[in-house]
Amino acid sequence: MTLRESFQKTLRVSLDWKGDVCSEVKMRHHTILLDSGMDEGGGDQGPTPTEIFLASLGSCIMTNISRIGQKMKLGLRDVHMEITGVKEHNDHPSSFVTLSIDVLIKAKSQDPEKLRKLVRLAEENCTISNTLRNAVKPSVRLQPI
């Protein structure tokens, strides 16, 4: 067993089709619906997969800001993020062409260098950011039921 293997953790989610473009997603003890808006053929019963993607990226960085901010003893008081993803409408298969993340932090310590370091470390230690950076390719297999 290599050192890398000893730190592997497998995560799983399951999805069931709920008609049209709606999916029910189950993870641990949570269930959410993902759907598209009415203008995209969905029933608008939940966020879109791309919105969840952006939310996952932001939440991952936000979690790290909280954890690292505590270790750095910055006295975090408020953190707000705005994430913007731009997709090309004529791009098939579609993908984001830009992702922008704006982070606003209010802390006891407003030292700009410390806050920049916090945001840099939070992004560098984010599993979602690292997955994007490493361009992990999904392996999709068909298993007829």
Average pLDDT taken over every residue of the chain: 93
pLDDT tens track for 59-118 = 999 999 999 999 999 999 999 999 999 998 776 778 899 999 999 999 998 999 999 999
**First vs last Cα of the chain: how many Å apart?**
35
Q: How confident is the model at residue 3 (pLDDT cuts 50, 70, 90)?
A: low
- Angstrom distance (rounded) from CA 80 to CA 104: 5
Consecutive H or E run containing 89 = none
20: helix, strand or coil? coil
33: helix, strand or coil? strand
